[in-house]
Structure 1
Amino acid sequence: MDFITKHIWFILFVAWGLPLGYYRSKFRKIVYQTDSWLINIKPLFWKELKGLFGNIFPDNHKYKKFRNFYRFYLTVYALLFIAYLIFD
């Protein structure tokens, strides 16, 4: 129990961060309209940022639904980091 209390922030970041690679890959595949795994290693960020903060496919409901979920996920990640900075 002492280990958990001493390393709670590390545990929270790992637990919340594990699915990040999957979610980012899925979002990038929707934004760049590809099924290639190479999209995960290419440093193409501009269109991804436009897709995250804008609405590049207004008629694509799958994109909008996943974009909103990904925004929520990243917001919780940012709040977790801010809480770490404040309370640690």
Structure 2
Amino acid sequence: MVCHKLNYAYALHYCNVGGSTRTYMVSMVGVDGTKVKVVSVCHKDTSFWNAHTIPFVVFKVKPGTMPICHFNFFKMIK
């Protein structure tokens, strides 16, 4: 399970649950040299997701046909 903050007036987190999920720590460098470490969350089973969710619309695929991955920013490194 991976949880991340939501933008509300009080502390609120959304936790990714259901289906198999993999997480990865990824180091990235921006064009300006800024370095970050981020958590990448990959949802391997998307068969139970709503077909109108943004990733399916953008990639023009159906639920359950491909994993959906996204980043959660973790820590700035200077």
**So what's the TM-score if we normalise by structure 2?**
0.27
Whose strand proportion is higher, 1 or 2? 2
**So what's the TM-score if we normalise by structure 1?**
0.25
